[in-house]
Amino acid sequence: MKKLLVLVIISSLMFSFGCSAKSEIKFGEGNILKTSASGKGVLVDGKFEGYSQKNRRFYFLIDNNTEFVNEDGESSTYGSLKTGQYIEVWTEQDSPIQESYPPRITASKIIIKNETSEPLDRKGLKEFYIQGSYDGELYKKQMAKEGKIYYTVVNNTEELNEQINKYSLRTPRQEYSLNYNSEFFNNKAIVLVYPTQGSSSLSFWVKDITKDDGMINISIEKYTPEAGTTDIVLHGLLIEMYKNDYSSSESFKIQIKEATPPEK
């Protein structure tokens, strides 16, 4: 009888511990935009597969049970979080999402990555796709970059018009324009990125722009359809930039990866 009682108690304890153990999932990862002074939340910009496949902002609530660790698994604290840090966020399996703006959810664990980058203030600026005519001279320059993406920085209307005329640049979408006046260039510049020359069926768009130790990181996604066209055009991206965000044309790191088309 005593043995039976002991077994019942042990089984009850095991069941109790099993029920209380947290079932965590990786919710997503991204860059810290802001931490709250109260220590009860952190605003993050990134990709959160636990909510959506699109990049977005998310607010993570912090409570007494939230665990902080670094990339090596060592214990850390909320106070070690800084704007621009790259973090990985975990939540409990059934933790409810508050559909506010931005959406909110309680973080059960935050892993602080060694990688850091500072999201740039893009308010009032824009970037959009442009096309041009095939140019043999530019093609040679693109090939000479040996895997790096060819780009040029435009600092005034004269330089912009030179690019427009030289490559017959145009904007396929009516909501965008290549008309810029001298006032725009007082504190801004334009980065013209020319990824490739090829079929007009290819699509390019800017996914993200960040700053890391003085380097401007521009992440571009490319979509190649199953059935392409045989024509050849110059593909480009026009990116508006504040002049105080970079020191020279060598401050840019541009990467392109294949992707599915963005959701409409």
pLDDT at 18 > cutoff 90: no
Residue 241 pLDDT: 92
Residue 182 pLDDT: 94
Maximum mean pLDDT: which of 173-177, 208-212, 237-241? 237-241
How large is the average pLDDT for residues 224-239?
90
How large is the average pLDDT for residues 157-166?
97
> 2 CB contacts (<8 Å, ≥6 apart)?
none
- Gap between the Cα atoms of 243 and 232, Å rounded: 33
Question: Of 147, 149, 171, 155, nearest to 219 (Cα)?
Answer: 149
Please, what is the average pLDDT of the chain? 84
pLDDT at 207 > cutoff 70: yes
For residue 42, with 0-12 CB atoms within 10 Å meaning exposed, 13-18 middle and 19 or more buried, which class applies?
A: buried
Residue 55 pLDDT: 73
Confidence band for 145, pLDDT divided at 50, 70 and 90: confident
Question: How crowded is residue 104: how many other Cβ atoms within 10 Å of its Cβ?
Answer: 16
How large is the average pLDDT for residues 182-210?
93
Name the pairing type of β-strands 188-198 and 215-223.
Answer: unpaired
CA distances from 200 to 130, 164, 229, 233 (A): 11, 18, 7, 6
Assign a CATH topology to domain 22-116.
Answer: OB fold (Dihydrolipoamide Acetyltransferase, E2P) (2.40.50)
Maximum mean pLDDT: which of 1-5, 143-147, 157-161, 195-199? 157-161
Joined together, the tokens standing for residue 153 give 């920085």
Edge to edge, the sheet with strand 188-198 lists 127-133, 233-242, 188-198, 150-154
For residue 225, with 0-12 CB atoms within 10 Å meaning exposed, 13-18 middle and 19 or more buried, which class applies?
A: exposed
How large is the average pLDDT for residues 26-50?
85
pLDDT at 27 > cutoff 50: yes
For residue 194, with 0-12 CB atoms within 10 Å meaning exposed, 13-18 middle and 19 or more buried, which class applies?
A: buried
For residue 131, with 0-12 CB atoms within 10 Å meaning exposed, 13-18 middle and 19 or more buried, which class applies?
A: middle
Joined together, the tokens standing for residue 208 give 């993200």
Residue 20 pLDDT: 45
CA distances from 228 to 118, 194, 201, 224, 257 (A): 37, 19, 5, 8, 18
pLDDT at 156 > cutoff 50: yes
Confidence band for 17, pLDDT divided at 50, 70 and 90: very low
The residues spanned by each domain of the chain are 22-116, 127-258
Confidence band for 264, pLDDT divided at 50, 70 and 90: very low
Alpha carbons within 13 angstroms on the beta-carbon side of residue 120 total 23
Confidence band for 15, pLDDT divided at 50, 70 and 90: very low
pLDDT at 10 > cutoff 60: no
- Gap between the Cα atoms of 234 and 139, Å rounded: 9
